[in-house]
Amino acid sequence: MSDTRPRVFSFDLGSFKVAALLDAVDVRDNLAAAFAPGQSPRAVQELAVSNSIDPVRYDHCFIPTLVDTGTEKILFDTGFGDDDSALLQCLRDLGLEPGDIDLVVITHGHPDHIGGLMNNGEAVFSRARYVFGAAEFVFWIEADTVREARLNNRDLFRRICAGLADRATFVAPGDEIVPGVTAIDAAGHSPGLLAFHVESDGQQLLIWSDAFLHSVVSIQRPDWHADLDDEKEQSVETRKRLLNMAADHRLLVAGYHMPFPGIGYVERVNGSFHWLPVGDQLNV
């Protein structure tokens, strides 16, 4: 990650304080193979050109979200985790240490979301309680239906997360994890992916995690399959539902893989949807 790239973006949401934390950035090739397999090269090229983005390379960000309700500091996802964790440095930039986190919420069990839970066999967030989606936890711990490409992921989840069960709450869509924070079904990218609706003093934020993987392709072409989605048709239905929710209710959105800071709105444009990155709306 470039040392000159901002890593923390903070704002108020009613009486809550929210921060987007940049854990990592990966510049990747093969935009079409990642987000539009099966689509014609011309269709992908035209979409890229019309949005002034590179038709091949893309900037893939990894952005956990911190929500401070005033009584609890809640970290949504933990990044990749390593001995020189960028996420932990982001917390330090906010004057926080891992022991200051009260609750860690795991949206789903992929490595870039659970990797920061443990370091050298010890829980990084030593004082925290944990929230897992019940369906997601069961899938990785008990099921034998993991596709071959995710077998290493399954082993990682079992190694990192199984031992946290006695400190965890297991939730389903519709459950309120703390006052003002409610789980939403976002399954598809993973079998039990959860999004979260956050509300304080009438202001609302949708944390949609990995329901959308690219700020142009996933949003403007929600019916195109993404290679990394486990249940591709379910992912399509989830994207359409969340896009309508975000646009209809004019929700502020936090997207884990959107361009940093990953905060923006969804707007309807010519029968489709567009990502509108936040500008000065949160500063005035």
Distance CA 176, CA 17 (A): 18
Report the Cα–Cα distance between both ends of the chain, in Å, rounded.
Answer: 30
Indicate the pTM of the whole model: 0.96
Q: pLDDT tens-digit profile of 206-222?
A: 999 999 999 999 999 99
User: Any idea where the domains of the chain sit in the sequence?
Assistant: 8-277
Task: Dump pLDDT digits (tens) for 80-123.
Answer: 998 778 999 999 999 999 999 999 999 999 999 999 999 988 99
Q: Enter the tokens of residue 111.
A: 């490595």
Task: Kindly give the interhelix angle for 151-161 and 134-142, rounded to the nearest 10 degrees.
Answer: 110
* 116 token code pair: 């920061």
Residue 282 has pLDDT above 90, yes or no: no
CATH of region 8-277? 3.60.15.10
